Amino acid sequence: MWAAIWKLDIPHKMRHFWWRACSNSLATKENLVRRKCGVSKGCPICGVVDESIEHVIFDCEWVRAVWFGCNVYLNLNQENSSSIQKWTSQVGENLKGEQLSQFLGKAVTVAWFIWKTRNEFIFNSDPIFPEKTVRRAFQALREFSKTRIPPSIHVDNLSCEDNLSHWKAPDQGNFKFNCDVAVSSQGREAVAASVLRNWKGELVDGRVARAKISSPLQGELIAIRLACVMARALGISNACIESDNQQAIKLSVFELDLPWEVLALVSDIRQLGEVLGLKFS
């Protein structure tokens, strides 16, 4: 079971989260009281029963709505629902190979965002909307799948000719930066790239940066920041910075609900964008 968890094709932080859930080491109300770090075991959301790990992940009323919306059939029964570890072990017995990796990877990703939503409610008083948690989980799954380069593909063999045929030129005399990122299969390292072209589509400059990351979104923003730094270094203003990640662009321009792990990156991007008069699309 442990080997299956550590081999999941999801970001490392999610694998580590599920290892902690299986080890009953998450800071739920029940565990905090057991360690004499809290005074109440009650679930802070429903207030009906004690907040165990199983209640947080599987049983709370709003959580059941999330699992239903994600179309993940948990197959809970009295025996395996009593322990995250037992449930994970039973999944490993029923599924093998790629089926196990895909199902468990999706389930752990959904559980990760359930835990994040619960924490945001407790620490930030953010209201809980199950449909929002569903959207965040699916978006993370799509982003990680999209940004990961399969081991069988070599970067040297990738061509930009097809992409260039769909590239939209900026106004005459202006420049455009195109940004993208490739994430390692473990989800902990990224290679961010920024390419600068003029209005004729001619390559002017480019930069590549390697970085440690905690999420694909962080990698996308590193690529956008790389473009901003290039614009400053080259003395280019009124240029357009283009990315294929809608969430990263929204965060760079106007989004107010900023994930903590990208606060510094977004701050840099917004400051440079304002000083240089950059546009984002």
First to last CA, the chain: 44
CB neighbourhood size of 78 (10 A):
6
Q: How confident is the model over 220-230, as pLDDT tens digits?
A: 999 999 999 99
pTM: 0.58
Q: Are 223 and 243 within 8 A, CB to CB?
A: yes
In the chain, what is the greatest distance between 2 CA atoms, to the nearest angstrom?
A: 68
Q: pLDDT of 88-134, one tens digit each? A: 998 888 888 888 888 999 999 999 999 999 999 999 999 999 999 99
pLDDT of 253-272, one tens digit each?
887 777 888 899 999 999 99
